[in-house]
Structure 1
Amino acid sequence: MQYEIVLPADYDMGTIERRVATRAGATDDFPGLGLKAYAVRRRGRFGSALNAYAPFYFWADPAGMVRFLQGPFRAIVDDFGRPAVRHWVALARHRGPGATSTPVLATRESSTLAADLAPAGAIAEHVRTPALGAGVHSQVVGLDPSRWEVVRFTLWSAAPARLPADAVAFEVLHVSDPELHRLLPA
């Protein structure tokens, strides 16, 4: 799941950094959470045209997502209003060679499935196990069936020399991964 709070162009992103530094520990042991990447986009960095706070979550248990939205998510609503929360059904999860390192960057790639293809064939094409480079921590592929869109989140333990084409990049400020072992077995 992910929500993205777009911030003004002149917003002091240090405010978000301080927020993460003081509050991120609250999800370090959150039940049902596989991984939360406290992610931001900064205008002018990694091709971003805007500033945004855009954390994303890989849930090991859907009940954890519900508990989060009914509980700690209240702080986001109180400070920024209630953003739309996108969520996907996980199709594939891959552990990368950099899984033992802390992620510093994330990318999100999206593609709409062709309307003239049967869903099973179109989805299978996106789920194949990719060749993950040395800097990849992990990757999750999800499906939004309301849009017939496949999304690929990749966490990078080191910034790649070149970002994937059409990828949206996020700097990762902190990672909470209390139940990552349930999503990415060794």
Structure 2
Amino acid sequence: MQAMRYDITLPSDYDMAIIRKRVQNTGYLMDHFPGLFFKVYLINEKQEGAFCNSYSPLYIWKDTKGMNQFVFDGYFDNIIQSFGWQNIEIGITSSVELAKNFKQSRYVTEETFNILPSHHSLKGTMAKEILATNETGKVVIYNPDKWKKTIFTFYEKKPQTLCRCFEILHISS
């Protein structure tokens, strides 16, 4: 599976109700999109203690055909027209663990780590992540052109954390 994400930083005085309404009115359009495993509509709000306002959707694709259709058949044009040209981060999933109550997730944390150079082996670098009892999902994505891995951990209740934490507005699958 492949992961795709773009992180749109918005002005500190941006009315985040605009994003909430946008997702409420159109989020369902990605439900059952060909090749999509799931998409989470993520936001950060400065007024809630985040560093900045942002809209940061995360997609997990079953195959590249669906991802290519989304990017190149006009669907991504809605983002370009609304927010300007966005760089799309692409990664490869090394593990996707979802609990039965995944669709009830309301928050997700993001932790990024360097994959350090090894002279001998990369074996064990991407060890499987195990869900804790308060977690509804965990996705590990790696990007070998940057040698980074990112762990997204999903929750029903907002966790106490120092990691970047997003609110989930909708989950399409």
TM beyond 0.5: yes
The alpha-carbon deviation at position 159 of structure 1 amounts to 2.0
The residue number in structure 1 matching 2:113 is 111
Does structure 1 retain, via aligned residues, the 8 Å contact 2:23–2:169?
A: yes
- After superposition, give the CA deviation of every residue in 1:127-181 in whole Å (9 maximum; x if it has no partner): 2332x22332211111111110011112212222x22x5x21110001101xxxx
Per-residue deviation, 1:15: 0.5
SS in 2 for 1:151: strand
Instruction: Say which is worse superposed, 110-119 or 48-57, in terms of deviation.
Output: 110-119
Query: Cα offset for 1:126?
Result: 3.7
After TM superposition, give the deviation of residue 119 of structure 1 in Å.
5.5
Q: 1:93: which partner in 2?
A: 96
- Aligned runs of 1:113-152 on 2, under 5 Å? 113-116=115-118, 118=120, 120-121=122-123, 124-130=124-130, 132-152=131-151
Change (3 A) 1:146 1:118: farther
Partner in structure 1 of residue 22 of structure 2: 19
The total of aligned residue pairs comes to 169
Query: For the structure 1 residues 103 and 134, does the alpha-carbon distance in structure 2 shift closer, same or farther, using more than 3 Å as the test?
Result: same
Is the Cα–Cα contact under 8 Å of residues 97 and 135 in structure 1 kept in the other structure? Answer: no
In structure 1, distance between residues paired with 2:55 and 2:120: 36
Match of 1:69 among 71, 81, 88: 71
**Cα RMSD after superposing both structures:** 1.7
Q: Gaps (5+ residues) in structure 1?
A: 178-186
- 2:166 corresponding residue in structure 1: 170
What SS does the corresponding residue of 2:109 show, helix, strand or coil? strand
Q: Is the contact made by 1:40 and 1:171 (CA closer than 8 Å) also made in structure 2?
A: yes
TM-score if structure 2 supplies the norm length? 0.90
CA distance in 2, matches of 1:107, 1:69: 25
Measure, in 1, the Cα distance between the counterparts of 2:121 and 2:83: 37
Question: What are the Cα deviations for residues 54-102 of structure 1, in whole angstroms up to 9, with x where unaligned?
Answer: 0101111221111111121110001111111101111111123643x41
So what's the TM-score if we normalise by structure 1?
Answer: 0.84
Instruction: Calculate percent identity across the aligned residue pairs.
Output: 29
